[in-house]
Every structure is written in structure tokens, then in C-alpha cells.
């Protein structure tokens, strides 16, 4: 069985300051992990993915995430938030036994203050 | 533009009515999915199709049926809509299980 816990339902940051979105996972196998972003009234867009290569993964729009097996975490960060980063973010895990059955976290809503 | 197209974007149904949500992708992806999104619950998989001619149940299949009409199209049918099926529905496609493309969603309200 696999599951994902996003530790913050809502994060508020000022423009130009760092963003940290926390994600913990559980998996019976070597997991693949993903972060997706959803802007209002839009579908989800893949930000980045970890599939057992480098533990520090760089994604689009300046985001990156670090896979820490010992902590079962896959936190998403960005050094400097932009107004366009206001959106909902989902952490997703696949346990590798069945790529078709992904488990989604409940989501973190990011607000960016001017 | 290439991508996943869902129709309709909005729909209101009365309890007991039926309807079909349509999804088409033009990326030549093998796999297609239907998810529902409810507040505070992320996305939950309803059905998926690993390839043309195959379909499998996901996490929440009850009350739904699907058809993989061809490689491009994957439809979701509600035979007898219930208020619990009020949700936002997303179709997605992929090549290797990494969900590459999502449609813009169908907002369904069942009254």
C-alpha cells in the first residue's frame, strides 16, 4: 500500500521569499514521486518527478525537490516566489508495482502576497 | 494545440439522470485515466485504460462505466447520477504511467 501526506493545507508567502511545501510518503516498494501544480480552473501540470536517479530533482519554473529515503520525504522548494506561483500543489506517489495507480496527497494551496 | 480535450466543461444533472463525459487526446499516448477531485481529498482514480481495448477499475469505480473507443478517446458514463457524484472530473493521458497531460476538467453538479 502507498500513501502521501502533505503536511500543510495552506502556505502563504511574500513575493520574492522562499517557498517550502512538505510531503511525506509511505510505500512498500521503491517509489516514484511527483509534484503537480493546478492553477484555478485548470488541469494539473507536472512540475517534476523522481524515479530513482538523482535525489535532488529540478523541475519547471524554478522548483526543485529532494528525495530523502531516511525521512520518507519529498519536499518541494523554490528560492523566490512569484505571484504566478499562487496555485494548488499536489504530491503524488507511485509504488512502482503498478504505475497506473498513483496516490495523491490532499493538496497544498499557495498564496503569494505582494 | 496538442493535449487532452474534455467535454462538457460544466453540467448539471438531476438525480437518476445519465450522461457521458467525453475525453480525447492527440498525443498518441497509450494510457488514459479518469479521476475525480473533491475538496481536501486530492484526485482519486475512477478507471484507467492501459492500452486500447483494456480498462481497469481504480480506487472509486462504483457508479461509473468507461469505454476506450479507440486510442484517442476514453469516455466516462454515469448511468444513474447521484448527489455523491457531484465533483470535478479530470481525464489524463500518459505513455509510461507518468501522467503527462490533463484535461481542463468537467464540473458536474447532481441535484
**Which one of B40, B50, B102 has the shortest CB-CB distance to A43?**
B102
pLDDT digits (tens, 9 = 90+) for B19-56: 999 999 998 888 899 999 998 888 899 999 988 889 99
Q: Give the mean pLDDT of chain B.
A: 91
At residue A40, the pLDDT reads: 87
With an 8 Å Cβ cutoff, the interface of chain A facing chain B consists of: 4, 9, 32, 34, 36, 41-46, 49, 90, 92, 94, 99-102, 104-107
A99/B97 CB distance under 8 A: yes
Question: Is residue A50 a contact partner of residue A32, using CB atoms and an 8 Å limit?
Answer: yes
pLDDT digits (tens, 9 = 90+) for B72-88: 999 999 999 999 999 99
Q: What are phi and psi of A67, to 5 degrees?
A: -85, 120
B42/A107 CB distance under 8 A: yes
**Which one of B40, B45, B105 has the shortest CB-CB distance to A101?**
B45
Q: Rounded to whole angstroms, how far apart are CA atoms B84 and B69? A: 27
B96/A104 CB distance under 8 A: no
Mean pLDDT (10-residue bins), chain A, 114 residues: 90 97 88 90 87 88 94 96 96 73 89 96
Amino acid at each position: 500500500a502507498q500513501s502521501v501526506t502533505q503536511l500543510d493545507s495552506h502556505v502563504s508567502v511574500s513575493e520574492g521569499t522562499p517557498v517550502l511545501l512538505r510531503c511525506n510518503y509511505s510505500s512498500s516498494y521503491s517509489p516514484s514521486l511527483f509534484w503537480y501544480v493546478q492553477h484555478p480552473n485548470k488541469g494539473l501540470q507536472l512540475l517534476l518527478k523522481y524515479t530513482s536517479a538523482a535525489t535532488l530533482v529540478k523541475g519547471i519554473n524554478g522548483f526543485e525537490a529532494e528525495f530523502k529515503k531516511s525521512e520518507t520525504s519529498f519536499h518541494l522548494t523554490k528560492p523566490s516566489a512569484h505571484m504566478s506561483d499562487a496555485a494548488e500543489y499536489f504530491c503524488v506517489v507511485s509504488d512502482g508495482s503498478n504505475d497506473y495507480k498513483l496516490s495523491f496527497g490532499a493538496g497544498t494551496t499557495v498564496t503569494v502576497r505582494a | 494545440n496538442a493535449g487532452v480535450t474534455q467535454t462538457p466543461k460544466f453540467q448539471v444533472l438531476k438525480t437518476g439522470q445519465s450522461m457521458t463525459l467525453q475525453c480525447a487526446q492527440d498525443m498518441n499516448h497509450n494510457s488514459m485515466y479518469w479521476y475525480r477531485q473533491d475538496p481536501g481529498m486530492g484526485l482519486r482514480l475512477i478507471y484507467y485504460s492501459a492500452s486500447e481495448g483494456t480498462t481497469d477499475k481504480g480506487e472509486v469505480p462504483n457508479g461509473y462505466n468507461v469505454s476506450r473507443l479507440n486510442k484517442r478517446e476514453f469516455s466516462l458514463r454515469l448511468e444513474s447520477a447521484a448527489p455523491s457524484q457531484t465533483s470535478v472530473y479530470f481525464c489524463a493521458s500518459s505513455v509510461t504511467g507518468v501522467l503527462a497531460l490533463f484535461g481542463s476538467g468537467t464540473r458536474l453538479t447532481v441535484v
